[in-house]
Amino acid sequence: MPSFDIVSEVEAQSLDNAINNLKKEILNRYDFQGSKTEIDLKMKDKNLHVVTEDDMRMRQIQDVLISKLMKQGIDPKCLDFGKEHYASGNMVKKDILIKQGLDRDTAKKIVKYIKDAGLKVQPQIMDDIIRVNGKKIDDLQSVITACKGEDFGMPLQYVNMKS
């Protein structure tokens, strides 16, 4: 029986390349000359720690980060910017979380959407992925097309197609 998986993953090497390009650009920009800006990626925790001097620089770092991610083919929806915190003195810090895997609520929304589409497939939630089974590959491709047209708030990849 043909099947495929719906996942939400960020490729670690592309993410690392985007962060390294971000660091290079921030280091070379005129408006960041002499600033105390730190950007640290913790791949183990899927967390990007940013410390800079003011809100304006923090927004500029976020804008450059989004452009670098897009150049590497990573959807910026995988980032959870959260809140800014004031570190010691006049420094601003922010922990940007990189979302990996489908959370339970998003997975339920996707399964409900697939069932409401009326296609002859069976979606099921398995930890942080959704496995979709069907009798015909055409039905599975219709599910992929339908899900690509809908915004679920996270980037989705369609992998492991088996016939």
Count of positions (residues) in the chain: 163
pTM of structure: 0.82
Residue 67: closest CA among 124, 112, 25: 25
| Domain identity same for 38 and 87 | yes
Residue matched to tokens 């006049």? 90
Same domain? For 87 and 124 the reply is no
CA-wise closest residue to 88 among 53, 134, 117, 127: 53
Domain limit, last residue, from 59, 74, 98: 98
Structure tokens at 43: 């791949």
In this structure, are 70 and 109 located in the same domain? no
Q: Give, rounded to a whole angstrom, the gap between the first and last alpha carbons of the chain.
A: 6
Which residues are CB-contacts of 143 (< 8 A; sequence separation ≥ 6)?
Answer: 114, 117, 119, 121, 123, 132, 134
Q: Say what the pLDDT of residue 71 is.
A: 93
What are the tens digits of pLDDT across the range 76-106?
988 888 877 776 778 888 899 998 888 889 9
Q: What is the pLDDT of residues 118-140, one digit of tens each?
A: 888 998 998 889 999 989 898 88
Split into its structural domains, the chain has a count of 2
Q: How many CA atoms lie less than 13 Å away from 139 in the CB half-sphere?
A: 18
Report the candidate in 49, 113, 112, 126 with the shortest Cα–Cα distance to residue 85: 49
Boundary residue ending a domain (71, 98, 125):
98
Query: How confident is the model over 43-73, as pLDDT tens digits?
Result: 888 899 999 888 888 899 999 999 999 999 9
